[in-house]
């Protein structure tokens, strides 16, 4: 209890701020926080009766619904449908209300109460596990035919299926419905999903000699995709074999695009694929030949792309032309884009540039002028190219504050969760509130969050409200002291650091990416360890990256290191921060100093990295406006360097 008291008091003293929920006596609030922590400990031990005995002490505490929810979950599978529905209705404003159904179904399944599941879950749910529960309850208490059809649809998956389906699948198999044909169909799905182990498992299931041979043939083709042409020619034309030819060819194209080109016609003719399917396979191969040096393959690739309607492929070809400063190619390939793509600012800019480079100066400059005045990277680039001032729409509205007061209970919980450093729970509350709010309410909530200095929540609300021109909401000036401190220490503009953080995490100090990057500047633990060791920064574990000060310190030092590697060039440094220095090295070698800064950025083959660099440059522009800081969109060296 002493440790809990110390932790709560530290949170209280360090983060406490004035708001409606803490208008009460501060000593009373501290006591409620302590009791709440005690309640959480009791529920950790599943001591529900003891929790209920202290609950009156926190009956009016704003976070008590969370402990009520935890208590309600204990043995939830033994509760009635009426109890669960009532609890869910009473707590609909809390984010856990949307999770109760899943918890209840899990509890009922644990109790093997299929009759209650049948009555409670009356329509097919989302999620594989819950569909397993649903169909099994139908099997026992409802429509058996529907249940068996559901079992088949779940079993026919290229990947492993939830173990919750085991009993359902057993019943389906006993009904004689797991035929050899179904096994072979699933093998095709596993081939498509690139699940070699699943193929090996499925290969053992067929019973007939013919099916066993076909299963072995599928498994062999997966191991040796170079045999796809022979397979297509020698196999009967069936829907299954056509699919295998399709997936097998794509597997070959990934492994050896040159060989795939040689076998394309054989695959198409052997399995009588349509001309549309042939073009799709050619497109797939052409993507993998973008950087080929073979003149023969270049000719084949470009001939294929010229016939294609695949916008992404044609755009990639435009970027290849940019990479080689082939302005005639840029113009010609842009012309092949569909109108909705071609008319966008991006390709209108490059069409204008190609016109200027090809001597059609008046037409090109007129096209550039038509792009000015918009809040878009290529509007700014057009202004830079023409040497005119940067302009874009900015607005600032006054929201209706009464739209916020109706959500005061939720806002009080968000305040308290932030005060206790329960940031993940605060974000969950905020997201659930935004999902339930109208467009005008979202806008008002963005203003409210801005006034509270909730930077990340302001960004989330501004995006939800689509207030694109209100850049003071979209780009909060957050953690300014730390950005300025480490900006001065490492000789980086604080606005550059803040803009990078805004792009990386939307200013979320506890952000965590699917690949493991952490914190406001989204640092990979390996990068943090390397940077800390190289530059003598105290650092022990990845958990420290959730500390905003430590994260900005390491992120700023790493960016400073990259800037030093590239003589202060932010374009290279931003690209390296996102995609790695090894890729920037390769991109520079490919462009061979033939490009200007904007062509180099557009020629970056990774959509994420390309957008990343463009966004940070724009974000710097916004932050300079908001902070009244002077500065150029690009430095003199960045403009003049050949990339």
| Residues taking part in catalysis | 504
- Rg over alpha carbons for the chain, rounded to the nearest Å, is 30
Beta strands in 172-285 (DSSP E): none
Q: How many CB atoms lie within 10 A of CB 140?
A: 15
Q: How many CA atoms lie within 13 A of 138 on its CB side?
A: 23
3-state SS assignment for residue 523:
strand
Distance CA 449, CA 303 (A): 54
Phi, psi of 320 (to 5 degrees): -65, -40
From residue 629, alpha-carbon distances to 398, 484, 496, 499, 622 in Å are 25, 13, 12, 14, 10
∠ CA 35-39-40, rounded to 5°: 120
Nearest Cα neighbor of 600 from 618, 575, 621 is 575
Distance CA 66, CA 417 (A): 11
For 409-443, b where at least 16 C-beta lie within 10 A, e where not — what string? ebbbbbbbbbbbbbbebbbbbbebbbeebeeebbb
Distance CA 626, CA 628 (A): 6
User: Is the distance from CB of 319 to CB of 309 less than 8 angstroms?
Assistant: no
DSSP string, 355-382: HHHTT-HHHHHHHHHTTTTSSSHHHHHH
The alpha carbon of 389 is separated from its chain's Cα centroid by a whole number of angstroms, namely 35
User: Is the distance from CB of 581 to CB of 457 less than 8 angstroms?
Assistant: no
Distance CA 74, CA 103 (A): 10
∠ CA 459-67-544, rounded to 5°: 50
Distance CA 118, CA 137 (A): 5
Alpha helices, DSSP H, located in 121-204: 128-141, 144-155, 166-174, 180-192, 196-202
Distance CA 528, CA 595 (A): 33
Nearest Cα neighbor of 132 from 174, 100, 164 is 164
């Amino acid at each position: 209890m002493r440790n809990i008291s110390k932790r709560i008091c530290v949170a209280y003293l360090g983060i406490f701020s004035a708001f409606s929920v803490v208008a009460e006596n501060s000593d009373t609030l501290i006591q409620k926080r302590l009791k709440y922590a005690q309640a959480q400990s009791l529920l950790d031990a599943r001591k529900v009766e003891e929790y209920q005995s202290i609950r009156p002490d926190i009956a009016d505490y704003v976070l008590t619904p969370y402990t009520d929810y935890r208590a309600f979950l204990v043995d939830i599978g033994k509760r009635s449908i009426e109890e669960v529905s009532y609890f869910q209705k009473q707590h609909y404003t809390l984010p856990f209300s949307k999770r109760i159904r899943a918890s209840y179904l899990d509890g009922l399944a644990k109790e093997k109460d299929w009759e209650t599941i049948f009555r409670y879950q009356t329509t097919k749910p989302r999620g594989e596990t819950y569909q397993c529960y649903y169909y099994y309850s139908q099997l026992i208490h409802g429509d058996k035919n529907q249940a068996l059809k559901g079992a088949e649809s779940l079993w026919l998956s290229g990947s492993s299926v939830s173990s919750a389906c085991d009993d359902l699948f057993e019943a389906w198999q006993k009904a004689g419905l797991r035929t050899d044909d179904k096994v072979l169909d699933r093998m095709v799905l596993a081939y498509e999903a690139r699940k070699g182990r699943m193929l090996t498992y499925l290969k053992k299931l067929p019973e007939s000699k013919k099916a066993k041979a076909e299963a072995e043939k599928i498994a062999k083709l997966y191991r040796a995709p170079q045999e796809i042409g022979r397979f297509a020619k020698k196999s009967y034309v069936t829907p299954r074999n056509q699919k295998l030819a399709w997936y097998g060819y794509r597997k070959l194209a990934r492994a050896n695009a040159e060989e795939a080109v040689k076998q394309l016609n054989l695959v198409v003719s052997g399995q009588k694929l349509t001309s549309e399917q042939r073009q799709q396979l050619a497109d797939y191969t052409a993507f993998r030949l973008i950087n080929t040096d073979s003149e023969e393959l270049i000719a084949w690739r470009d001939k294929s792309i010229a016939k294609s309607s695949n916008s992404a492929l044609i755009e990639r070809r435009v970027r290849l032309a940019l990479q080689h400063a082939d302005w005639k190619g840029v113009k010609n390939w842009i012309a092949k884009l569909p109108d909705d793509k071609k008319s966008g600012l991006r390709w209108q800019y490059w069409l204008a540039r190609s016109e200027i480079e090809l001597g059609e100066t008046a037409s090109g400059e007129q096209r550039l002028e038509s792009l000015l005045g918009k809040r878009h990277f290529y509007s700014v680039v057009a202004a830079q190219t023409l040497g005119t001032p940067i302009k874009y729409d900015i607005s600032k509205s006054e929201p209706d504050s009464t739209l916020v007061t109706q959500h005061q209970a939720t806002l009080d919980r968000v305040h308290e969760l932030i005060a206790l450093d329960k940031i993940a729970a605060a974000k969950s509350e905020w997201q659930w509130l935004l999902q339930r709010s109208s467009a005008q309410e979202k806008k008002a909530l963005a203003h409210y969050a801005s006034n509270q200095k909730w930077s990340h929540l302001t960004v989330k609300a501004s995006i939800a409200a689509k207030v694109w021109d209100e850049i003071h909401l979209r780009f909060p000036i957050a953690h300014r002291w730390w950005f300025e401190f480490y900006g001065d220490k490492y000789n980086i503009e604080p606005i550059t650091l803040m803009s990078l953080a805004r792009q990386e995490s939307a200013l979320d100090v506890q952000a965590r990416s699917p690949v493991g990057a952490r914190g406001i500047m989204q640092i990979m633990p390996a990068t943090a360890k390397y940077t800390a060791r190289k530059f003598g920064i105290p650092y022990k574990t990845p958990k420290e990256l959730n500390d905003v000060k430590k994260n900005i310190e390491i992120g700023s030092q790493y960016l400073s290191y990259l800037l030093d590697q590239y003589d202060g060039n932010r374009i290279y440094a931003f690209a390296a921060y996102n995609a790695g220095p090894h890729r920037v090295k390769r991109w520079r070698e490919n462009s061979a100093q033939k490009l200007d800064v904007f062509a180099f950025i557009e020629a970056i083959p990774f959509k994420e990295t390309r957008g990343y660099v463009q966004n940070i440059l724009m974000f710097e522009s916004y932050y300079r406006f908001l902070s009244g800081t002077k500065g150029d969109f690009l430095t003199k060296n960045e403009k003049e360097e050949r990339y």
